[in-house]
Structure 1
């Protein structure tokens, strides 16, 4: 039996050479290799303390998955435009943190399609070795990059165009219940590009030909360490229940799947101090 205590962060994700998602849970200064715990008993107890993931201040309530209220209202990474990139206001000179905006918003982004139980459109800043950590965070079993765009604002404008024809949200309950049927994402990509052609032409007319570059990246499959999917999802609430214990049956997205059809979104509890025991 091994025990850890500390403030947690969302699970760090990557993919191995077979595109199997790999998970590491930071707990204080420790990092727990979660894939190795599939099939084993895991227990977590909330100590009642939350520290802001940015400034480490003790806070009674967590906002935006780990921030204190002051950081929520001050940080650019907590602004509305992070959720709605089409509202990026850096060029208007009103960015909360211009240097942060330059580093994170004024760089290339990718617009993509992903199969998370239903097909969705989304944006990501990084696609490393063909796989984006965002795809794993969302529990996507398939994904394909549609295009590279010059900045976050442009990515939001393109995503908005696609949203007229396809969803931009993940249904987390659907994502957790089973592995979805395969979809021909390459064919869907071409069909959608035809549907949004006029919108893309308008974006290019305003921002230039360099604003959008259609990619020829193939669709990829992503696999997850899951022994058994829940039949009826029952969400664990640490704020209400305080603790849980059970057999870890799988990990997908940022969710742990346990016996009894129970699941917990670890990202939701970023900044929470937990006592974690593995056996």
Structure 2
């Protein structure tokens, strides 16, 4: 095995080509490594047991919310509960942990969308996070539904949509490539019709331009670098087994698919490791 990269894990970077193919780059604090040439090869991830907060860089014995130390987890707006449940945004109440951060990341245009990763689901993201958000979820197709003025509004639309469609990905089905064959554009049109009363209520409260339906949206298709999907999904945990190795059979979402199991790279952001590659 030849060590190719050492450092603390950062979320894998991904690019989407014009023909819908996703390319990945493994990122550590010391640099990044394109993954295309590693498919089919033996790789080894050796975790040192050291963890550094992805925000402040301080050493920590435990990682919170995918890479933060306890202090940052309790102080940063990006770790507040409204990030997971944006309809609970309290910016308007003057109690946001970081108002300047929120102005940039929350008080800006967001997209409500449908995606098919393990089945049809509704989701939200900032406009400038498309298509990254879809790739991170492992979606094979996505269709925009609404463009909204703030993160809170996207959460309110999503909350209304959740009465009709799922809002979470079944990651095990996604990693088996077991999502159903669905006409997402038809599902999007049906959902927009069902949400019309709720959207009109939001428009009457926040203004017509605050929630705008995307008319006749184009769907985006995505394909992932996978040689073989597993029949059975077993997870690899470096906290229990610091040396993770196997043949790299694919990448989807933020998961590495090895013949020995799967590992969610983003989950271990901030963990120090050495990435080695064999034949």
Normalising to structure 1: TM-score of the pair? 0.96
Residue matched to 2:245: 245
- Does residue 177 in structure 1 map to residue 181 in structure 2? no
Partner of 2:40 in structure 1?
A: 39
Superposition CA RMSD, Å: 1.2
Alignment of 1:150-161 (within 5 A): 150-161=149-160
5+ long unaligned stretches in structure 1: none
Deviation beyond 2 Å, 4+ runs, structure 1:
179-182
Structure 1, residues 92-143: CA drift from partner, whole Å, max 9, x if none?
1111000000000010000000001111000011357xx5101000000010
**SS at 2:204's partner residue?**
helix
Instruction: Give 1:197's aligned residue.
Output: 196
Match of 1:162 in 2: 161
Equivalent runs, 1:1-279 vs 2, <5 Å:
1-126=2-127, 131-178=130-177, 180-216=179-215, 217-260=217-260, 262-279=261-278
- Structure 2 distance, partners of 1:144, 1:169, is 16
TM-fit CA distance, 1:4? 1.8
CA deviation after TM superposition for structure 1 residue 245, in Å: 1.1
How far did 1:179 drift?
A: 5.2
Q: Secondary structure at the match of 2:165?
A: coil
Range with greater deviation from structure 2 (191-200 or 91-100): 191-200
Pairwise CA distance, 1:204: 0.7
How many residues are treated as equivalent by the alignment? 276
Q: Is the 8 A contact 1:45 1:244 kept in 2?
A: yes
Q: 1:2 to 1:49 in 2, by over 3 A?
A: closer
Deviation at 1:35, TM superposition (A): 2.2
Q: TM-score, normalised by structure 2?
A: 0.96
What is the CA-CA distance between 1:267 and the residue it aligns to? 0.4
Q: What secondary structure is seen at the aligned counterpart in 2 of 1:10? A: strand
Compute the displacement of 1:28 (Å).
2.1
For the residue of structure 1 that corresponds to 2:143, the secondary structure is: strand
> More displaced, 263-272 or 7-16?
7-16
